[in-house]
Amino acid sequence: MNRDALPEIDAAILADLERNMADLARLVAIPSVAAQNRGIEECALLVRDLLTERGYRSQIMPTAGNPVVYAEGDGDSERTLLFYNHYDVQPAEPLNLWESEPFTMSRRDGKVFGRGISDDKGHFISRLHALDAVRKVHGGRLPCRVKFVIEGEEEVGSVQMPAFIEANKQLLAADACVWEFGGEDENGRPEQYLGLRGICYVELSVRTAVIDAHSGMAGSIFPNAAWRLIWALNTLKGPDGRIRIPGHYDSVKPASPRDMELLAAMPDNSDEMLSRFEIKGFLDGMTGGIELRRAEVFEPTCTICGLESGYQGPGSKTVLPASAKAKVDFRLVPDQSPEEVLANLRRHLDAEGFSDVAITYLGGGRPAKTDPDHPFIRMANEAAADAYGKPPIIAPMVGGSGPNWPFTNVLDLPITMCGIGYPGGQVHAPNEHFVLEHYIRGVKHAARIVEGFAGMSGGDTARG
């Protein structure tokens, strides 16, 4: 890393802050909720414009789903750094719990609020912000080539990403990748995430009749869609937390000794989690330590994300529901795949007598990991230590999901995480936000990764 340039880069970052916040406000104002099919085209156009305004060759590439914004920019070397981000956001519901309008960027108490402000619009802006500062210091040219892939379906499972990447393998060729998120923990230590779990997200639905019935008339003799759903769900997982679908654990690779070594070196944030969410305790009596950290990321999950049937308003309505639905999120660990989970789930429900429970696949992707000892990762860790003044926490795997499998396994790239997030950011929840100081540190870190990447010898990250 060219350390001489850093003070000038950092000054440029601070000088450019308000312009980037203004661009972020424009992005947040578009409610690009993929699950609700809102604001997608409009947001893709703005993302393209933000890239074009900064001199990148930018285009909107159609897919079978939401379009991908692709861009590239030349640099002083052929070495290429690929940035992956997404312009879609989670739904803002429940709206009544927001303290300010979710789709109007709002600053208060050193924090910046809005749906998608952190996940992932703020991260995208932070990358542009960092590259602008690096370019300014290098006389208007970047020290390496850059490419951007900014998709519009990350929050609904990145359905199109594997095929998009397979189809554009040459276009997307690069030497390393900066992932869409990252940040610091409660104590200001940067975090390096080296793997993401996979996901298989389904809706289970039952319909027992064409209309709801009077519960008094039908309660003893009609099938009840809500009961059918409950009994079916109950066969998926019991109070012991073990997933009961035969074959579900067959492809699971346990954490390696190196994974466990990295987990052991991570700080314990269990008390912080307990107090932030006000939960009484973790599952299975876990209280923290390496076993909690292992379970958190190396165990497959089966999470009910939503339940819906019959009357949900105030007071009572004596109705026997004709239909019932559950949204269920399976998180996958190496080497599980969504296809295998879906097949096992259908077979299991049929075998348990629940052929009446329909499965709708709402998206998914495979888990993937980057080698913690890759030279690019070592460089990124050094950049983090420099930007934050603290050595990074290195997590061999995190609980969340994203389409990193095609990046690691098709494009053959090492992936580093960096960013503006922190555990209190209420990502996916009401009052999503980032802390402005965290944002600035995240931009400094990203700028250092670009500098460091450009300074690495080609052999360290041979193009795949």
Of residues 206-245, those binding its own copies (CB under 8 A)? 208-224, 226-227, 229-231, 233-234, 237-239, 241
Q: Give the residue with the Cβ less far from its own copies, 104 or 355.
A: 355
Q: Could you give the CA distance from residue 252 to residue 415 in angstroms, rounded to a whole number?
A: 22
Under rule CB under 8 A, which residues in 16-35 are in contact with its own copies? 34-35
Q: Give the residue with the Cβ less far from its own copies, 147 or 197.
A: 197
Residue 310 engages its own copies in binding (rule: CB under 8 A):
yes
Under rule CB under 8 A, which residues in 156-215 are in contact with its own copies? 156-157, 197, 199, 201, 203, 208-215
| 3 state SS of 437 | helix
Residue closest to 23 by CA, chosen among 97, 127, 100, 98: 127
Q: Give the residue with the Cβ less far from its own copies, 20 or 192.
A: 192
- Choose which of 189, 327, 346, 390 interacts with its own copies (CB under 8 A): 327
**Stretch in the footprint of its own copies (CB under 8 A) among 131-139, 187-195, 244-252, 296-304:** 296-304
- Cβ atoms within 10 Å of 22's Cβ, excluding its own: 11
The token pair at 329 is 């999120």
Residue 363 engages its own copies in binding (rule: CB under 8 A):
yes
Under rule CB under 8 A, which residues in 409-438 are in contact with its own copies? 426-430
Residue 96 engages its own copies in binding (rule: CB under 8 A):
no
Site string for its own copies, 383-402 (x = CB under 8 A): ---------------xxxx-
Q: Determine the distance from the C-alpha atom of residue 267 to the mean position of all C-alpha atoms in its chain, rounded to a whole number.
A: 22
Residue 90 engages its own copies in binding (rule: CB under 8 A):
yes
Q: Report the nearest approach of its own copies to the CB of residue 85 (Å).
A: 17
| 3 state SS of 150 | strand
Residue 64 engages its own copies in binding (rule: CB under 8 A):
no
Please provide the distance, in angstroms rounded to a whole number, between the alpha carbons at the two ends of the chain. 23
Q: Could you give the CA distance from residue 331 to residue 299 in angstroms, rounded to a whole number?
A: 8
Q: Report the nearest approach of its own copies to the CB of residue 369 (Å).
A: 15
- Choose which of 99, 318, 389, 458 interacts with its own copies (CB under 8 A): 318
Distant-in-sequence, close-in-space partners of 381: CB < 8 Å, separation ≥ 6? 192, 391, 392, 394
**Stretch in the footprint of its own copies (CB under 8 A) among 110-118, 130-138, 255-263, 316-324:** 316-324
Q: Could you give the CA distance from residue 448 to residue 286 in angstroms, rounded to a whole number?
A: 38
Measured CA angle at 185 (ends 274, 430), to 5 deg: 60
Q: Report the nearest approach of its own copies to the CB of residue 446 (Å).
A: 23
Q: Give the residue with the Cβ less far from its own copies, 108 or 214.
A: 214
**What does the DSSP assignment read for 126-147?**
HHHHHHHHHHHHTTT-BSSEEE
Residue 109 engages its own copies in binding (rule: CB under 8 A):
no
Q: Report the nearest approach of its own copies to the CB of residue 10 (Å).
A: 31
How far lies 211's CA from each of 207, 218, 225, 330, in Å?
A: 9, 12, 11, 31
Under rule CB under 8 A, which residues in 139-158 are in contact with its own copies? 155-157
By CB under 8 A, how many residues form the interface with its own copies?
Answer: 96
**Stretch in the footprint of its own copies (CB under 8 A) among 130-138, 249-257, 291-299, 456-464:** 291-299
How far lies 193's CA from each of 40, 185, 349, 402, 404, in Å?
A: 28, 12, 35, 12, 12
Residue 286 engages its own copies in binding (rule: CB under 8 A):
yes
Q: What amino acid is encoded at 122 in this protein?
A: G
| 3 state SS of 334 | coil
Q: Are 342 and 202 in contact (CB under 8 A)?
A: yes
Measured CA angle at 100 (ends 125, 30), to 5 deg: 45
- Choose which of 295, 358, 385, 436 interacts with its own copies (CB under 8 A): 295
The token pair at 51 is 């890239």
Q: Report the nearest approach of its own copies to the CB of residue 431 (Å).
A: 9
Q: Could you give the CA distance from residue 194 to residue 207 in angstroms, rounded to a whole number?
A: 42
Q: Give the residue with the Cβ less far from its own copies, 22 or 305.
A: 305
Residue 266 engages its own copies in binding (rule: CB under 8 A):
no
**Stretch in the footprint of its own copies (CB under 8 A) among 68-76, 137-145, 295-303, 436-444:** 295-303
Q: Give the residue with the Cβ less far from its own copies, 75 or 365.
A: 365
